[in-house]
Amino acid sequence: VEADGTLRRVPLQRRHCEELIPSFDLALYRLARAAGLPVAELPPPGEFLINYRGGPKTFPWIPYHRVVQGEVPPETFQGKIVLVGPTSAILQDVYSTPFARARTMPGVEIHANALETLLGGLAVREAPRWLSTAVALAAAIAGAWLVVRLRALRALAASAGLWAALAAATFLAFSVWGVWFRFTAVTLALLLGYGAAVV
């Protein structure tokens, strides 16, 4: 879980004493590959960003008691990878994710998202921090320059347009190429550059 309380990434392995132990998701990936399922190449060693498909219940939930009581036909699970786990918030295995705020995503569905990310080769790539810093610095300078060049009100409209263009580029990079760019720093830099010049 990251500093803002959101779970975005999981490790492929953990070191215990001198031994590297595969994560649950990596172990399932290896089982799927051994069973002949089509799998993508693994991301580089270390942690990987989960490419979430959505919020809770994006993957089908089937209550365990219905399976035990024979209410669910066996062919429902044919050719599927089935994860069994708790979904009740009472059991404390719930987390906040980019698609589920206030700790509403069960850990078992986070594993489902992580496994799909690994099997499909869909891991999100993080833009280098130096690039985010450089764009934020450029946005701050642009915000101040617009005030000097156009005066406050016109500069505000131009800054809003610049922000919208950067937001669209960020969204495009994520949705098309799977690149996650830290946009909050750019937004704050643009606001501070504009605000400081106006003051």
> Phi, psi (5° rounding) for residue 6?
-105, 140
C-alpha closest to that of 143 among 134, 152, 130 = 152
| pLDDT for the residue numbered 176 | 85
| pLDDT for the residue numbered 170 | 92
C-alpha closest to that of 98 among 119, 120, 117, 118 = 117
Does pTM top 0.85 for this prediction? Answer: no
Scored b (16 or more CB within 10 A) or e, 17-53 reads eeeeeebebbebbeebeeeeeebeeebeeeebbbbbe
Instruction: State the burial class of residue 161 (Cβ atoms within 10 Å of its Cβ: 0-12, 13-18, 19+).
Output: exposed
| pLDDT for the residue numbered 126 | 86
C-alpha closest to that of 140 among 169, 166, 179 = 166
| pLDDT for the residue numbered 124 | 84
| pLDDT for the residue numbered 8 | 92
| pLDDT for the residue numbered 79 | 85
Region of residue 143 (left: phi > 0; alpha: psi -120 to 50; beta: else): alpha
Residues 32/79, Cβ–Cβ less than 8 Å: no
Quickly list H helices, the chain.
24-34, 64-68, 107-120, 129-150, 152-177, 183-198
Per-residue pLDDT 10s for the chain (199 aa) are 988 899 999 999 988 888 989 999 999 999 999 999 999 999 888 899 999 999 999 999 999 999 999 999 999 999 889 999 999 889 999 999 999 988 899 999 999 999 999 999 888 888 888 998 999 999 999 999 999 998 888 999 999 999 999 999 999 988 888 888 888 899 999 999 999 998 9
- Dist CA 66 CA 112 (whole Å): 20
Say which amino acid occupies 46. G
94-97 and 100-106 as β-strands: parallel, antiparallel, unpaired?
antiparallel
| pLDDT for the residue numbered 58 | 95
